[in-house]
Amino acid sequence: MTTKYIFVTGGVMSGIGKGVTTASIAKLLQFRDFNVSIMKIDPYLNIDPGTLNPVEHGECFITEEVWTFDPLHGDQHKIMQPVKIAELDQDFGTYERFLGQFINPSHNITSGQIYFSVIYKERAGKFLGKTVQLIPHCTDEVIHRMVDTATNENLDVLLIECGGTVGDLESTMFLEAFRQFRLQLPKKDTLLVHVTLVPYLKTVGQLKSKPTQHSVRALQSMGLQPDVMVCRSEIPLTSSVRQKISLFSNVPENAVISSPDLPTIYRLPLKFEEQKLGDYICDLLDVKPKLVKYDPIRNYSEWKKMVELYTSAKDSITIAMPGKYIEIPDSYVSINEALTHACAHERVKLNINWVDTEKEAKVELKGCDGILLTPGFGSRGVEGMIECAEYALEHKIPYLGICFGAQLFYIAFCRKILGLKGAHTTEIDPNTPYPVVDFLEGQKSLMETGGTMRLGAYDIYVDPSTKLFQAYKKEIIRERFRHRFHIMEKFLNDNPKSKELKISGRDETGKIVNAIELVDEDHWMIGTQFHAEFKSRPYAPSPLYHAFIKAVKKNRSIQ
């Protein structure tokens, strides 16, 4: 069948759940056995979000594959070095978790990539004789990227989410590309979903539709008419509000979809199905649902059963998460979700205690059931994070250190158990007497360059005698990485107390330490250089995170 395109825009303000909405709509189509995927447009000028602060932009999601961004496609007149990309917007984590499939980094389009491509093509003589302009050259580049993705992956439906909010100046190019593309294709081949906010005013006890009306008018002023309105609100839409939104946005009443706050985001596709959104989209796109064979990922009934796990827990556990970016939970969204997945499958409710490591961190750890030391970069709050690892060592609290958290676990062990006073990472203290964490080979000269860390998925060789092996039940696993520093094994070689720590995972050369753990039958304490959270799924928790939650339960004597 001809590829269909669904465009998703946002109105009123950012952060209202466009990513979850887009993933949920894709899930509706997956329930009907269509081959779907998602692209995300980010209007900022960065080539990728790898150098952005998580507090400002949220988590940086790492993909399985590394994509080579090469605007000139290997042309011999190349005047730039291709850029390696595996660092994407956090919404890609949502897409992968909902759809259960890996998404290539080429699915993330930024303004920087588009301008970069057009300018370098102009310099390479690709537009000789033409005045290069925003329209049509930049908008053509956007359309070309979308069509390329749909064609190369043989997709039935491609969803494209436009980041930001309608009315933002930087989104103009992409909305114009949508308008042009919809004009080029038959009406039944494209569909526009507008996600907007309908605030609930508690003082008067009413939902207010006026912000949505203004948002739709801004969209219409750019030549785009929505086909579906998805309205985010604290409570379900009333029939009167639905009627008003229908009237002022020029869409049928049954295309005004209520998206209220829910106990878990994984319930949203079910909420959409209750309102027959999937059937309505199929009618507009003129496609017939296919017969879905049994599949725990693509089957509606299986998804419904899975969602019930997320609201049926009776016991609860508290995980302390010391970190550098705790101002917004989105800084660690994949970790939060991986913990939630594991807890749901272990029938316990998750409580997260965010610990500011620039303050008295140890006080906040009292009463916690487990500690997860988070990833990060830079010196801010590091000593507090090391103290948290030392606290876990002293009090035999189940502990999981991710990336930076693994390196700081190693530093804590070297200081406290091996007696290496002043041991540190050269990232923080280049003059440390014991550089127990140092640069990967070839990384020192690349510190100021984006997209140059060890990125993407690599094979990990697991020691069969370890807790890590007990978690995965495999000697070779494949997980994702994002680092340029690593643990220096040589500091374990000559100290008899080093036998209290075991290297449980290495790379295929044996030179890079990928995981460490404490050798203590009664204390589950593991640090991994890899990010297992990126491959955790709501229906299939990460084996590492699942093992961590099981250890917490065992320590708490929860059945």
CA 218 to chain centroid, in Å, comes to 29
Backbone angles phi, psi at 350, to 5 degrees: -95, 130
Instruction: Please tell me the predicted confidence (pLDDT) of residue 437.
Output: 92
Residue 285 CA to residue 224 CA, distance in Å, equals 17
Provide the β-strand partners of residue 506.
461, 513
CB 216 within 8 A of CB 255: no
Residues 491, 494, 500, 502: is their CA dihedral positive or negative? Answer: positive
**R_g (Cα) of the chain, nearest Å:** 25
Instruction: Mark whether 236 and 339 lie in a shared domain.
Output: no
In this prediction, residues 194-204 reach a mean pLDDT of 93
424 with 486, same domain: the answer is yes
Question: E strands, 23-72, where?
Answer: 36-42, 61-69
In which residue are the tokens 């050369």 written? 509
Give 493's pLDDT tier (boundaries 50, 70, 90).
confident
Residue 122 has pLDDT above 60, yes or no: yes
Mean of the pLDDT values across residues 462-478? 98
Q: Give DSSP secondary structure letters for 213-270.
A: HHHHHHHHTTT---SEEEEEESSPPPHHHHHHHHHHHTS-GGGEEEEE--S-GGGHHH
Rounded to an integer, the average pLDDT of 486-501 is 89
Q: Are residues 276 and 353 in the same domain?
A: no
272 and 150 in a common domain: yes
Same domain, 76 and 175: yes
pLDDT in tens, 242-299: 999 999 999 999 999 999 999 999 999 999 999 999 999 999 999 999 877 778 889 9
Q: What is the pLDDT of residue 453?
A: 84
Find out whether 232 and 11 touch, Cβ atoms under 8 Å: no
Active site residues: 403, 531, 533
404 Cβ partners below 8 Å, 6+ apart? 373, 374, 375, 376, 377, 385
Query: Any idea what the Cα angle at residue 248 is, between residues 245 and 250, rounded to 5°?
Result: 95
Number of domains in the chain: 2
In whole angstroms, how far apart are CA 411 and each of 59, 393, 426? 25, 12, 11
User: At 467, which CATH number?
Assistant: 3.40.50.880
Which among 276, 303, 330 is the end of a domain?
A: 303
Burial bucket for residue 133 (CB in 10 Å: 0-12, 13-18, 19+):
exposed
The verdict on 235 and 328 lying in the same domain is no
The pLDDT of 22-36, averaged and rounded, is: 97
Dihedral sign for Cα atoms in the order 467, 470, 475, 477:
negative
CATH number of residue 121's parent domain: 3.40.50.300
Would you say residue 271 lies in a domain?
Answer: yes
| Domain end point (choices 303, 335, 364) | 303
Both tokens of residue 205?
């006890």
Residue range(s) defining the domain that contains residue 362: 313-556
**Co-location of 24 and 120 in the same domain:** yes
The dihedral region occupied by 312, where left means phi > 0, alpha psi between -120 and 50, and beta the remainder, is alpha
> Is residue 271 left, alpha or beta, with left meaning phi > 0 and alpha meaning psi from -120 to 50?
alpha
Residue 532 near residue 544 (C-beta atoms within 8 A) = yes
pLDDT of residue 390: 95
* pLDDT for the residue 72: 80
Residues 366 and 495 in one domain: yes
pLDDT of residue 307: 96
- Buried b / exposed e over 289-323, threshold 16 CB at 10 Å, is eeebeeeebbbbebbeebbebbeeeeeebebbbbb
Residue 308 inside a domain? The answer is: no
Task: Note whether 322 and 281 are same-domain residues.
Answer: no
Give 324's pLDDT tier (boundaries 50, 70, 90).
confident
Contact partners, residue 458, CB within 8 Å, separation at least 6 = 478, 479, 480, 481, 507, 508, 514, 530
- Model confidence pTM above 0.85: yes
355 and 267 in a single domain? The answer is no
Residue 182 shares a structural domain with residue 136: yes
Mean pLDDT of the chain: 92
Per residue in 71-91, pLDDT (tens digit) is: 887 665 556 678 899 999 999
Between CA 420 and CA 202 the distance in angstroms is: 58
Kindly list the strands in the beta sheet with 348-356, ordered across the sheet, starting from the edge strand earlier in the chain: 348-356, 315-323, 370-373, 399-402, 525-528, 513-518, 501-506, 454-462, 476-483
Is residue 462 situated within a structural domain? Answer: yes
Q: What is the pLDDT of residue 475?
A: 97
- Tell me whether residue 349 is in a domain: yes
Is 171 part of a structural domain of the chain?
A: yes
Q: Which of 303, 336, 355 is the last residue of a domain?
A: 303
Structural domain includes residue 464: yes
> Do residues 82 and 143 share a domain?
yes
Tens of pLDDT, residues 134-157: 999 999 999 999 999 999 999 999
For residue 44, tell me if it sits in a domain. yes
Nearest to 109 by CA among 170, 60, 155, 162: 162
If pLDDT is split at 50, 70 and 90, which confidence band does 392 have?
very high
